[in-house]
Amino acid sequence: MVRQRSAKPLFPGSNPGAAFFLMKVIVDFCLVPLGVGVSVSKYVAACQEIFEQAGLKTHLHAYGTNIEGEWDQVFATIKKCHEVIHEMGAPRISSTLKLGTRTDRTQTMEDKVKSVQEKL
């Protein structure tokens, strides 16, 4: 006997009839290849190309990259970055992630920055 799941939506305002729910995420990602010397710009550039090929919205900054998109796609792309950087010869990689999700409304990276700038 197969037990049916409730049609209750996972997120307020979402469609309970949908087959699945997409979760948007904003990630601050910093990848540091170890054992490759002092300059890491070619590795950062490789990841930027991967993000671009995936169609993700990004913002490169001095110590990492902000990435905006659907949860599964963002994390699959981060995994791909690790795979490519290892293929480029990095024996070790240290990455840090900060991430945020919200269910009450859609919010972009620009929305978050604008909200602060309006208060300055």
The residue among 22 and 110 whose pLDDT is bigger is: 110
CA-CA distances (angstroms) from residue 63 to 4, 34, 95, 96?
47, 16, 11, 10
Inform me whether the pLDDT recorded for 4 exceeds 50: no
Q: What's the predicted TM-score (pTM) here?
A: 0.80
For the chain, give every domain's residue range: 37-104
Q: What pLDDT is stored for residue 103 in this prediction?
A: 86
Partners of 29 in the β-ladder: 65, 97
CATH number of 37-104: 3.30.70.930
CA-CA distances (angstroms) from residue 46 to 5, 53, 67, 78, 100?
42, 11, 15, 12, 24
Distance between CA 49 and CA 53 in Å, rounded? Answer: 6
Q: Which residues contact 15 (CB under 8 A, 6 or more apart)?
A: 9
- pLDDT tens across 78-94, in order? 999 999 999 999 999 99
Helices (H), 1-120: 41-53, 71-87, 109-117
- pLDDT tens across 16-39, in order? 555 556 899 999 999 999 999 999
